[in-house]
Structure 1
Amino acid sequence: MTFVISGSASKSLATEIASFEKVQVIEVETKKFPDNEIYVRIPRKLSGKDCVVIQSTPSNDSLLELFFILDALRDEKVSSIVTFVPYLRYSRQDKQFLAGEAISAKTVLRIIDELSDKIFTVNCHFLDEEGMFNYHGVELWNIDVFPLLGEYFKRKFTDIVVIAPDKGSVKYAKKAAGVIGCEFDYLEKKRISCEEVEIKPKKMNVSDKNVVILDDIISSGGTIINAAEILKQQRAKKVMAGCVHGVFSKGIDHLLSTLDEVVATNTIETPVSKVSIAEYAAKKLFKL
């Protein structure tokens, strides 16, 4: 018998996924002590059961909670653990740029791997395709939901052009544009610091078009805002932004004041999580 184990960061998504497979959801009990240490308890005996743990990691606390959930389940001697991390924190630190840097993605995944039988995530930042990958000895299943974003915009708008905020993200724009059946392009971006970017002017065919800026992660939103301003100068009819992972480290009000619409999936639960990955993820988690 299989149970879905819901961490505190993915309660709605876990419930929705479980509903497609008609399995029971068990919500983990969590609390914080006065010194900010985290307490985790699995409120049911699960010895010999198969478990699917669903916990996104938008914060360090949610990542620690995931580690504690997995270790508690191992202590319970469950039969198997499939770990689904919709948003994998530290995935942007996947390689060493300067001597002595920690490869944080490797560290995180090795810990999860030690406590899991199989690991799934969604549009991992350092993976370009859907499927199973070996990353520093860890087998990781990557689920691609960019087509779901494409379907969302296709239902709502016509005369669409999909724009990537930089050349590195053009692969995402291409996937969504393939679903929509529209053109795609990219902007030229130069990163000045971890929070500051410069978008170089580039002439594109966006006049009187509904433009969708698409990326895997929107964090501070600075890149998206700069791109939107350039596109509006080129007479785009509407400028919208879509992403898989809505981190929104500076909130969303500044984005909504510049863009006509902001759309994210529910890998992280936000006020603009308008695209659900639940049905597609359920098929992957329970069929492999």
Structure 2
Amino acid sequence: MIVSGSTSQAFAAALADATGRDLAAVEYDRFPDGELQATLTDFAADDAVVVGSTVSSDAHVELLQLQDAVREAGANEVTTVLPYMGYARQDAAFSDGEPVSARAVARAVSTGTDRVLTVNPHETAVCDFFTVPAEPVDAAGRLADPLPADLADPLFLSPDEGAIDLAATTRDAYGRGSTDYFEKERDYDTGAVTVEPSDAAVADRDVVLVDDIVATGSTMSEAIAVLTDRGAARVFVTCVHPMLAADARTKLERAGTTAIFGTDTIERPVSAVSAAPAVADRL
């Protein structure tokens, strides 16, 4: 059965549909002291697929509770699906005294499962932190589905070299176009990010920006401004994980994006396509 955390209900339903598995009923509650409780009400299966995007500390706790609940209900095999893995970008200690938070979280998740699938972690190496078999799932190809069929000489552009594979995957799924990337520099003293355009011609072309996650929207906004100045016809923003924290959506709209498309790994109004089929292929 598919068992959904409160943050991934649409994703879990899509995964149940894609796999033909039943979707378990789960109740989510909070006690007066703030503690959470996630309760199964009709689970009956030998194996369980626990699904939860860990977008907050509460979501992490809820995931651990669900893992424990399915074991209590008799599941012999548990697979945990992390559509979005929180803390995955904290994959190293950058100064003395800092934790490797991705490792700490991975170890905790590992205690209640036999296997982990995580969708497009920021660095695939975080899978090595789990103490059970863990695999990344690439859902970037799903970002091609909501794009208009009439893109003009499309350029699939990643905000930095590290995301060029995502741009290529999206381009391949779309079926035509070229790829390139921006050079991105971050001032770690001020936090400011600047992007420098490549030599790719963008005038009168439709440009599709592709990244794994859009969090604050600052980098994407800068990229949109550069592309607009260089005469791009339309600029689409696509990402696997549409975090869109704080005023990120406003930043992108003010910068002049034509449309924003994300998957349902983080359920937002821009979640135009589900990443569940990519996960279903790996279950």
The TM-score normalised by the length of structure 1 is 0.89
Does the 8 Å contact 1:195/1:220 carry over to 2? no
Letter in 2 for 1:255: L
Question: Residue 34 of structure 1 corresponds to which residue in structure 2?
Answer: 32
Comparing 32-41 with 149-158, which one deviates more in the overlay?
149-158
Cα deviation, residue 158, structure 1: 3.3
**1:196 is aligned to 2:192:** yes
Question: Residue 163 of structure 2 corresponds to which residue in structure 1?
Answer: 169
Structure with greater strand share of residues: 1
RMSD of the TM alignment (CA)? Answer: 2.2
The TM-score normalised by the length of structure 2 is 0.91
Cα deviation, residue 156, structure 1: 5.1
Q: Secondary structure at the residue paired with 1:284?
A: coil
Separation of aligned partners in 1, 2:47 and 2:268: 30
Q: Secondary structure at the residue paired with 2:6?
A: coil
CA offsets 1:158-188 (integer angstroms, 9 cap, x no match)? 3210111112222222222333321111111
Letter in 2 for 1:280: A
**1:227 is aligned to 2:223:** yes
**1:52 is matched with which residue: 49, 52, 69?**
49
Separation of aligned partners in 2, 1:151 and 1:66: 30
Q: Secondary structure at the residue paired with 2:147?
A: helix
The structure-2 alpha-carbon separation of the partners of 1:136 and 1:16, relative to structure 1 and needing over 3 Å to count, comes to: closer
**1:96 is aligned to 2:90:** no
Report % sequence identity.
31
Separation of aligned partners in 2, 1:162 and 1:22: 34
Separation of aligned partners in 2, 1:66 and 1:195: 32
Q: Secondary structure at the residue paired with 1:243?
A: strand
Separation of aligned partners in 2, 1:216 and 1:196: 20
The structure-2 alpha-carbon separation of the partners of 1:121 and 1:227, relative to structure 1 and needing over 3 Å to count, comes to: same
Task: Note the residue ranges of structure 1 that are not aligned, 5 or more in a row.
Answer: none
Does the 8 Å contact 2:15/2:276 carry over to 1? yes
Separation of aligned partners in 1, 2:105 and 2:76: 23
Cα deviation, residue 228, structure 1: 0.4
Question: Residue 66 of structure 2 corresponds to which residue in structure 1?
Answer: 69
Separation of aligned partners in 2, 1:133 and 1:29: 30
Letter in 1 for 2:121: C
Question: Residue 185 of structure 1 corresponds to which residue in structure 2?
Answer: 180
Comparing 247-256 with 211-220, which one deviates more in the overlay?
247-256
The structure-2 alpha-carbon separation of the partners of 1:25 and 1:156, relative to structure 1 and needing over 3 Å to count, comes to: farther
- How many pairs were matched up? 279
Does the 8 Å contact 1:177/1:183 carry over to 2? yes
Separation of aligned partners in 1, 2:41 and 2:209: 43
Any residues of structure 2 matched to 1:15-30 within 5 Å, and which?
15-30=13-28
**1:242 is aligned to 2:223:** no
